[in-house]
Amino acid sequence: MAKVHTIDLINLSKKFGEDLVLDNMNLYIRQNEFLTLLGPSGCGKTTTLRIIGGFENPTEGKVVFEGNDITGLPPYLRQINTVFQRYALFPHLNVFENIAFGLKIKKKSNEEIKKKVTQMLELVNLAGFEKRNIESLSGGQQQRIAIARALVNEPKVLLLDEPLGALDLKLRKEMQIELKKMQQSVGITFIYVTHDQEEALTMSDTVVVMDKGKIQQIGTPIDIYNEPQNRFVAQFIGESNILDGIMEKDFKVWFLSKEFICVDKGFDKDEKVDVVIRPEDVEIVEEDKAQLMGIVKNVLFKGVHYEMEVQTNDYTWKIHSTIMKDAGSYVGLRIVPDNIHVMRKEK
Amino acid sequence: MKLSKHGYFYLIWMAIFIAIPLFMVAYLAFTSGDSQSISLANFSLENFKRFFTPMYLEVLKKSIQLAFISTIICFLLGYPVAYIISKAKLKNRNILILLFVIPMWMNFLLRTYAWLTLLGKNGIINLLITKLGFQPLDLLYNDTAVLLGMVYNFLPFMVLPIFSVLTKMDNSLIEASWDLGANKLKTFLKVIFPLSLPGVLSGVTMVFIPAVSTFVISSLLGGNKTYLIGNLIEQQFRYTGDWHFGSAMSIILMVFILISMALTSKFDKDKEGDVSGLW
């Protein structure tokens, strides 16, 4: 028999009035996994998290925690803790009292509370902050206190609702690394909600891409990036060139009035398809090796690479290249078969 | 200190309507003589000495007692009402709070007179009691009637600030409390109530001050049985003509209110005891 998952979401649907926010969602989450729900706002990711936390009840479906149905169980009876989007620290309590809140509810002894709070403050690099007022802390510090307040209860699962959204870019990057480290050191399941695809790719073991209340793709960050399953995922994760194509037969795809060799098969003859090509997968080559010719419209220097737009007969390509070409120059383009991703059109 | 044009206007307004009258009251309180010839008055502590005698102190004690009890009753009634209304759906919430406020649009005296016809010897309540075959009760002209009048008139001032604080409370704080294992009761005791204290404090202030200084409610519903400091002050100005003694009592009452407010605000850590957001 297969190992019991930490959480199973079974046929989960949620309606707010007439709005279908979650549409028959199925997902399982393994122990110690860092799973990210990724999607644009309104895709249902926060609702999913709130259903797992017990703050919303699903209209249909079940939430199963370690094999037990917990649908309808109030949040205070779940072994799950949450880091809220705006931290939701208690303004009438100081740092120590905030972190100790859950332990005091559980009637732990004073020594134990003191010991655990001190440990937690060390974990989040805020040792000595016990007596500080919440309002005197910076956004990043409040963030850490919110994480400490949740983790001190030793939950089986930690839910994080866009916890880094309010921080500036540099702090966000630091916190991404710290959060990942914390997750590995405490060894619990993290379910993380974000609309930032880079954040999702950096931290997660598994990324769940959602749109319109449905899961679009589940996979490792590498899978999601390299093998997007549909046009939405390709567009949402990273930058893409997406072209209309026709699948002539296996390993032969036709787009921009040209035939290309690819590695995809199993389509109907002459099926209309989406062709996705990542900007870094378009090579700039000499004319004699080129499959397409185009004129460079503009060039931006981005540090590691140049970002350019190249106009071919019918399409403007986004290209990332380490080769510098001036705007207006005539260049050859080539795409190797491995980098041409063919996917079925959505109905 | 730099002031804008409006700032100066406000300063003048304050001088005319607050500083000068207050100064006049203080001047009268610390002088004695004929009220009609203010300029000839002499400095004197006579008025204060006169007040600190058992008869007058008894009146002060009673005023504070009744104001204190009515504040507590207003709190006990008002908090649950404010809480229930704040939890209602937005549409119903506005209707409910409107229902609470509408009586306040009617004249204060009229509303208090209404209780006379309800509680009187031949009032509506006694009419019902006698119809049922019981002896009529003395409902009017006692402390209970005065308390009833105070609670009835000042209850909205308790409900509104508490309601205002509760509706503005960040719901994620309540969810955070549940999330950390606190059930609904513990969440109320440890999060919702402590966070609503600024509203409670405003409510207490806004009920206690008018209750401790009222003379209309006590003279209408208390007759001559319930004689409060407000009545005493009124009497000095309107009937006895001893403005000096009246002013001295006003000052004493003011000092007393200031002390009790200072004590109350000590309970409020953040010192947010203002009525902001409501008026």
Q: Least CA distance to B183: which residue of chain A?
A: A76
Q: Least CA distance to A89: which residue of chain B?
A: B173
**Does residue B277 surpass a pLDDT of 60?**
no
Structural domain boundaries, residue A323 = 239-344
What is the domain partition of chain B in residue ranges? 57-242+260-266
* Domains contained in chain A, number: 2
- The most distant pair of C-alpha atoms in chain A lies apart, rounded to whole Å, by 78
Torsion angle defined by CA atoms of residues B178, B183, B184 and B185, in that order, rounded to the nearest 10 degrees: -130
**Does the residue A1 lie in any domain?**
no
Give the domain-ending residue among A198, A231, A264: A231
CATH for A157: 3.40.50.300
Which of A54, A74, A88 lies at the smallest CB-CB distance from B176? A88
**Does the residue A266 lie in any domain?**
yes
Q: Least CA distance to B194: which residue of chain A?
A: A92
Measured in degrees and rounded to the nearest 5, phi and psi for residue A71 equal -55, 130
Position B270 confidence tier, pLDDT thresholds 50, 70, 90: very low
Which of B172, B182, B270 lies at the smallest CB-CB distance from A105? B182
Q: Do A105 and B178 touch (CB under 8 A)?
A: no
Q: Do A76 and B190 touch (CB under 8 A)?
A: no
**Does the residue A311 lie in any domain?**
yes
Per residue in B184-193, is it b (16+ CB within 10 Å) or e — as a string? eebbbebbbe
pLDDT at A1: 42
Instruction: Based on the fold, state whether residues A81 and A207 are members of the same structural domain.
Output: yes
Position B122 confidence tier, pLDDT thresholds 50, 70, 90: confident
Instruction: Based on the fold, state whether residues A99 and A222 are members of the same structural domain.
Output: yes
Instruction: Based on the fold, state whether residues A15 and A51 are members of the same structural domain.
Output: yes
Instruction: Based on the fold, state whether residues A183 and A268 are members of the same structural domain.
Output: no
Share of chain B above pLDDT 70, in %: 91
pLDDT digits (tens, 9 = 90+) for A47-84: 999 999 999 999 999 999 999 999 999 999 999 999 99
Instruction: Based on the fold, state whether residues A145 and A18 are members of the same structural domain.
Output: yes
Instruction: Based on the fold, state whether residues A265 and A288 are members of the same structural domain.
Output: yes
Q: How far is A7 from chain B (nearest CA, A)?
A: 17
Instruction: Based on the fold, state whether residues A225 and A257 are members of the same structural domain.
Output: no
**Does residue B91 surpass a pLDDT of 80?**
yes
Comparing CA positions, the residue from A216, A219, A244, A215 lying closest to residue A232 is A216
Instruction: Based on the fold, state whether residues A132 and A255 are members of the same structural domain.
Output: no
Q: Least CA distance to A94: which residue of chain B?
A: B269
Average pLDDT, chain A: 91
**Does the residue A139 lie in any domain?**
yes
- Structural domain B57-242+260-266, CATH architecture: Orthogonal Bundle (1.10)
Give the domain-ending residue among A201, A231, A261: A231
Q: Evaluate whether A36 touches A206 at the Cβ level (below 8 Å).
A: yes
Comparing CA positions, the residue from A186, A221, A194 lying closest to residue A205 is A221
Instruction: Based on the fold, state whether residues A175 and A149 are members of the same structural domain.
Output: yes
Contacts of B270 in chain A (CB under 8 A): 91-92
Chain B residues near any Cβ of chain A (below 8 Å): 170, 172-173, 175-183, 186, 190-191, 194-195, 269-270
Instruction: Based on the fold, state whether residues A225 and A145 are members of the same structural domain.
Output: yes
Comparing CA positions, the residue from B28, B1, B49 lying closest to residue B243 is B28
pLDDT at A313: 82
Q: Do A101 and B180 touch (CB under 8 A)?
A: yes
Instruction: Based on the fold, state whether residues A173 and A220 are members of the same structural domain.
Output: yes
The three-state (H, E, C) secondary structure of B195-209, written as one string: HHHHHHHHHHHHHHH
Instruction: Based on the fold, state whether residues A62 and A200 are members of the same structural domain.
Output: yes
pLDDT at B224: 76
Give the domain-ending residue among A180, A197, A231: A231
- pLDDT tens-place values along chain A, 347 residues long: 456 899 999 999 999 988 999 999 999 999 999 999 999 998 999 999 999 999 999 999 999 999 999 999 999 999 999 999 889 999 999 999 999 999 999 999 999 999 999 999 998 889 999 999 999 999 889 999 999 999 999 999 999 999 988 788 888 888 899 889 889 888 899 999 999 988 999 999 999 999 999 999 999 999 999 888 888 998 888 888 999 999 988 899 999 888 899 888 888 888 899 999 999 999 999 888 889 999 999 999 988 899 999 999 889 999 999 988 888 889 999 999 999 988 888 76
**Does the residue A2 lie in any domain?**
no
CATH for A267: 2.40.50.140
Per residue in A82-108, is it b (16+ CB within 10 Å) or e — as a string? bbbbbbbbbebbbbbbbbbbbbbbeeb
